[in-house]
Amino acid sequence: MVQEVWPQNKILKGIAASPGIIIAPAHVLADRKRIQIFYRYLSSPQQGAQEQERFRQAIALTQQELIQSKEAIPEDFREHAYILDTHLLILQDRLLLDETLRLIQQEKINAEWAVKQAVKKAQALFEQIADPYIRSRVQDIEDVSERILRHLTGTNSSSFTNFKEPVIIVAQNLSPVDTTQMSVDQVQGFITEMGGKTAHTAIMAQCLRIPAVVGVENATREIDTGYTLILDGLTGTVIVNPDTSMMAIYLDRKKKFENFKAEVNRASFRPAVTLDDYPTRIMANIEFQDELDLVLDYGADGVGLYRTEFLYLRQHHLPTEEELFEDYKTVAHIMKPKPVTIRTLDIGGDKFASYSDYVQEMNPALGLRAIRFCLKEHQIFRSQLRAILRASAFGSVRIMFPLISGVQEVVAARRMLEDIKAELQRENLLFDPHIPVGVMIEVPAAVMLADLLAQEADFFSIGTNDLIQYALAVDRGNKYVAEMYQPLHPAVLRMVKQVVNAAHVAGIPVAMCGEMAGDPFYTPILLGLGVDELSMNVPSIPVVKRIVRMATMQEAQEFAHQALQLGSIEAVSSYVTNFMARRFPEVFMFGRELVNSNY
């Protein structure tokens, strides 16, 4: 009999999804394959009615299952149950519910095939969304539809309990609900072939503090149950059957990382003030009000970016002014006296196809979106502005207009805001008459007009994700050019400096709310360029605060000045890397990985 030879020290690479280092045996969910769906033509109206009823029953069973999963979330992590609320809302979403019922009736197809077609349509719609974070939310629709299909086809899902020893789960894909069903005593980490770091599965893993690596190609084929694995959720590395030497290296790395993380988190409530007494406000980017507990836990100085699109995407109808007002009021009240910056709608007209004549655009990133859409659809914009103004009576609220490309857009938006203020006064409704109004600097035109825009704004917020994309003409979602998306491109640094100079001459502050703001690798250079406020995903806050507290403004300014003299990406990157490795070695070793694994 030939004895099987196990591979040793085999390295698999994926995406770091939840930080931490775990060493444990693998348990492969090899039976967790995509559900087989077959087409069936419905030959009579009666069959159509039966299929619709079968689909509604599957929806009801899925709803019941999600509610049970939500109730089973441990009390300590209940604040993250909003992710399952999102899945419950998807069950009522017109993209899935109405579209599937329509397809069954009009196309005369079986429920399973109709669900599959509805999901394809949703995937195509989300693919057109410019914001990568919102675009990735289509994974939630895919997860929910898979659960519906399991009920339609009678396919059982896998169990995540009753293991003989703690294991690392290896699967093709996992949903957020699967993650909530994992016992942290038995499941020490997981590896999937699918998924990204902004998926709700990854977010749940972070909340439950389960290390995870996603996007590992062929993981279920490369790994067998029983193999010993090192899962490095900081770098996205998986080592299969490590030898004793490799094991010793990672045990030491694990110990150092856990010490660093504990030290960083203990100090997260301390203010971000440099060694020579220059304060910097460290703010949070959020999408749901349920994230506010974490915002406060991590010691944020406020909310620098509240994305408001989800309220418009999650239900059958446009949100009413009252619904928006209640949501914004709650956020303002909880954060009071800390500021909350509400960004007005930043999606395109095609997402409102059910209410208007807009059709899918060929290039939505350059199309009718954000402030352009709002200034065209006055009623939708007015409703949101009224809700934001009314919420401003319950806390420190700021309003921010996205994708501004000219002075006329700010003037038009502010004119509408002033009209609504007068309207609210006539109605005896409370609001902050001096609510600060900000302009997002996201396109090169806004950079060039920064001095003029500064005359019309109370603050700037640089959205680096879009600014870098538009300035360098690079789609970072395109694998052929993604490596050209470089925050340290000399043109990007000079644009940031130009915006800061124009703002400070006009006496207004400059914030930054793109991903660059939350990466500790860029913190010293942004301080030196003069950015006054950094807003980021919540887990980045402790690490960025630590860098600010370890720096001096004088050295940051000298560092940024030298960087601005360099003419190539390679020269700037080398300069910044050497400086960070020398000046912040511990943070450089773990801080960036800790933050990036949480994006």
- What are the distances in angstroms from CA 313 to CA 85, 145, 309, 458? 14, 17, 6, 30
CB 241 within 8 A of CB 4: no
Position with higher pLDDT, 148 vs 588: 148
Reply yes or no on whether the pLDDT at 507 is more than 80: yes
Reply yes or no on whether the pLDDT at 586 is more than 80: no
Per the structure block, which two tokens stand in for 469?
């994309």
What's the Rg (C-alpha) of the chain? 25
Percent of the chain exceeding pLDDT 90 equals 53
Per the structure block, which two tokens stand in for 405?
């490309």
As a three-state string, the secondary structure of 406-424 is CHHHHHHHHHHHHHHHHHH
Output the pLDDT for position 58: 92
Mean pLDDT of all residues in 561-581? 95
CB 485 within 8 A of CB 468: yes
Question: Measured in whole angstroms, how far is the alpha carbon of residue 525 from the centre of its chain?
Answer: 24
Return the H-helix or E-strand segment holding 461.
strand 459-462
**Running DSSP on this structure, what letter comes out for residue 587?**
I
* Among the listed residues 194, 162, 159, 163, the one whose alpha carbon sits nearest the alpha carbon of residue 177: 159
Reply yes or no on whether the pLDDT at 534 is more than 60: yes
Output the pLDDT for position 122: 83
Q: Is the pTM of this model over 0.85?
A: no
The alpha helices in 392-540, defined as continuous H runs, are: 407-426, 444-448, 450-453, 464-472, 490-506, 515-518, 523-529
pLDDT band at 561 (very low <50, low <70, confident <90, very high): very high
Position with higher pLDDT, 499 vs 361: 499
Reply yes or no on whether the pLDDT at 98 is more than 80: yes
382/369 Cα distance (integer angstroms): 16
Angle in degrees, CA 349, 351, 356, rounded to 5: 60
Mean pLDDT of all residues in 544-566? 96
Question: Measured in whole angstroms, how far is the alpha carbon of residue 531 from the centre of its chain?
Answer: 22
3-state class of 575 per DSSP?
helix
Mean pLDDT for the chain?
Answer: 87
The catalytically annotated residue of 27, 80, 151, 200 is 200
Could you count the other beta carbons within 10 Å of the beta carbon of residue 434?
8
Between 258-272, 334-348, 380-394, the lowest mean confidence (pLDDT) is in 258-272
Q: pLDDT for 22-65, tens place per residue?
A: 999 999 986 555 677 788 888 889 999 999 999 999 999 998 88
* Among the listed residues 343, 270, 333, 336, the one whose alpha carbon sits nearest the alpha carbon of residue 304: 343
Output the pLDDT for position 426: 97
**Residue 333 annotated to the active site:** no
The phi-psi region of residue 358 (left if phi > 0; otherwise alpha if psi is between -120 and 50; otherwise beta) is beta
Is the N-terminal amide bond of 520 cis, ω within 30° of 0? no
3-state class of 106 per DSSP?
helix
Q: How many residues does the chain have?
A: 599
As a three-state string, the secondary structure of 522-586 is HHHHHHHHCCCEEEECHHHHHHHHHHHHHCCHHHHHHHHHHHHCCCCHHHHHHHHHHHHHHHCHH
Output the pLDDT for position 567: 92
Position with higher pLDDT, 563 vs 34: 563
pLDDT band at 549 (very low <50, low <70, confident <90, very high): very high
* Among the listed residues 119, 179, 106, 176, the one whose alpha carbon sits nearest the alpha carbon of residue 148: 119
Which residues does 444 contact at the CB level (< 8 Å), separation at least 6?
Answer: 467, 470, 471, 495
427/542 Cα distance (integer angstroms): 44
pLDDT band at 599 (very low <50, low <70, confident <90, very high): very low
- What are the distances in angstroms from CA 519 to CA 299, 530, 536, 595? 17, 16, 8, 7
Name the one residue in this structure whose structure tokens are 């008459």.
433
The CA-to-CA distance between both ends of the chain, in Å, stands at 48
Could you count the other beta carbons within 10 Å of the beta carbon of residue 224?
16
The phi-psi region of residue 438 (left if phi > 0; otherwise alpha if psi is between -120 and 50; otherwise beta) is beta
Per the structure block, which two tokens stand in for 127?
């693919």
Between 203-217, 292-306, 398-412, 567-581, the lowest mean confidence (pLDDT) is in 203-217
**Residue 207 annotated to the active site:** no
CB 57 within 8 A of CB 154: no
